Structure 1
Amino acid sequence: MSDTFKDFDGLRALVTGGASGLGRATAELLAARGAAVAVLDRDITAVDKPLRGYAADVTDDETVRAAVAAAVADLGGLDILVNNAGIGAQGTVADNDDAEWHRVLDVNVIGMVRVTRAALPALRASEHAAVVNTCSIAATAGLPQRALYSASKGAVQSLTLAMAADHIREGIRVNCVNPGTADTPWIGRLLDRADDPAAERAALEARQPTGRLVSAEEVAGAVAYLASPLSGATTGTALAVDGGMQGLRLRPAGQ
């Protein structure tokens, strides 16, 4: 990315789950392109300049409101919210108990509600307000052993559309990115627990038409596209960043 490409100059952004993985890559890209960026995460010890860290758990409304208020005050307003904080889950509908369903939905869905609700007053005051939610290919493709995770991300995609409709006349655009399997710390931990990590990684790579995992930087680039003032006509959109997994149906190699 050229140092002269500064489409976020003068804008203020908040990225949840921004201390690592997709959120960290997004926060760093927005900062490189001119934004003042606040990161909201449970552990902000690894967050350093030019990013500003604010500790909060998206399942706790009180800490969310306090962290968002502090970030907005320090930034002098807010133009962009990236709802990226989320957790994974494995198994069929029979494999997770009620408590785990409540826990994952509380983070992945209601967590976005809490942060957005706290940020709305500042976003309404912005001339370039944009919200980008991190969704997943799991919202649009039936993936094995992902019932709970898929349910949460299906809710995120529907929530994105509803938010876009609710806030378009307030000048707030709302979109989501749908990554395929991304090379993140969560996937790394998943592979570490597999009986054969190399075989499991090969299987994850093979199900994407590109034959490789999606990089955090590629997802960050998609978030930046949706958040940029240059995309002012884009709202209510789910942007797939999945190596073709959603739309392509390739023949087996060699045929």
Structure 2
Amino acid sequence: MTGRFEGRSALVTGAASGIGLALAHLLAEEGAARLILVDRDAAALEAVACDVDMIRVVGDVSDEALWDRIDLTGLDHAVVNAGVAGAATIADHDFAEWRRILSVNLDGAFLTLRAAMRAMAAGPETRGGSIVLTASAAGIKAEPGVAAYGCSKAALLHLAKVAAKEGAADRIRVNAIAPAGVETPVWDAVPMFAARAVEIGRDAAFAELAAMATPLGRYARADEVAAQIAFLLGDESALMTGATLLADGGYTL
């Protein structure tokens, strides 16, 4: 059976773990001909195994020079997924930590988006394409201690809308996805979660958090979010652009 992404080329950042890794596998299973996978974790990126032509790029998405050396010719899809987390109240927030989070989550997203849109608009005839930005329900609902992370993700939601308007003339669709809790390694950088995981185990810590935070009582798996991103990338969502798919288990209600 022909896959939804048969013969297509896709860029995925943050591809060595979590949502990015699950998406790389899904795109390969769905027939993608070429995957450009970007991550700063060289060992984890090298371990990604998909039965498809893969170009692995090790680097920081917030480094503008990185994008000068990545060939995105013929790009059909892009997933702006790389991100970092952190937690501190505003009064106690270290400015260097604020900049670290904003640099990767917002500057890196902008540079990725810019490179992808330029590639999709290049050539004598506009190819068009589709792009998804991985935002977060933290960019919609305010919580104590997540100013940097939440603001970076709120900015991504608006960035997707601006990009959708700008890209429409070139047949480029841009959407965002805003999950709430997802069982990925990004949680290990959150002190509260990391401490609880040591006490009761990661699975139990996820279950405990989800029971408190979401009406549905669970967090998403990375493969579930990857499937939702694939929908936004694919032809089934051909009339969607500038939209945010909120997949939060009821967290923002």
TM-score, normalised relative to structure 1: 0.87
Aligned length: 238
Q: Which residue of 2 aligns with 1:37?
A: 35
Residue 78 of structure 2 aligns to a residue whose secondary structure is: strand
Q: Which residue of 2 aligns with 1:107?
A: 104
CA positional deviation for 1:196: 4.2
For residues 96 and 157 of structure 1, the distance between their equivalents in structure 2, rounded to whole angstroms, comes to 23
Identity across matched positions, percent: 37
Work out whether residues 133 and 160 of structure 1, in 8 Å CA contact, stay in contact via their aligned partners in 2.
Answer: yes
For residues 12 and 234 of structure 1, the distance between their equivalents in structure 2, rounded to whole angstroms, comes to 20
- Are 2:122 and 1:116 aligned? no
For residues 167 and 129 of structure 1, the distance between their equivalents in structure 2, rounded to whole angstroms, comes to 9
For residues 151 and 87 of structure 1, the distance between their equivalents in structure 2, rounded to whole angstroms, comes to 13
Report the residue type matching 2:157 in the other structure. Answer: Q
Unaligned runs of 5+ in 2: none
Structure 1 residues 202 and 33 mapped into 2: Cα distance closer, same or farther (>3 Å)? closer
Work out whether residues 179 and 225 of structure 2, in 8 Å CA contact, stay in contact via their aligned partners in 1.
Answer: yes
- Are 2:244 and 1:204 aligned? no
Q: Which residue of 2 aligns with 1:235?
A: 241
CA positional deviation for 1:188: 4.5
- How large is the RMSD of aligned CA atoms in angstroms? 1.9
- Are 2:153 and 1:147 aligned? no
Report the residue type matching 2:214 in the other structure. Answer: Q
Q: Which residue of 2 aligns with 1:250?
A: none
Work out whether residues 121 and 128 of structure 2, in 8 Å CA contact, stay in contact via their aligned partners in 1.
Answer: no
Aligned with 2:12 (options 15, 31, 36): 15
Q: Which residue of 1 aligns with 2:171?
A: 171
Report the residue type matching 1:179 in the other structure. Answer: P
Aligned with 1:213 (options 194, 215, 219): 219
Work out whether residues 161 and 174 of structure 1, in 8 Å CA contact, stay in contact via their aligned partners in 2.
Answer: yes
Aligned with 2:68 (options 59, 65, 70): 65
Work out whether residues 163 and 174 of structure 1, in 8 Å CA contact, stay in contact via their aligned partners in 2.
Answer: yes
Deviations 1:145-198 (A, max 9, x none): 211111111111111111111111111000011011000012245433337446
For residues 113 and 209 of structure 2, the distance between their equivalents in structure 1, rounded to whole angstroms, comes to 32
Q: Which residue of 2 aligns with 1:54?
A: 57
TM-score, normalised relative to structure 2: 0.87
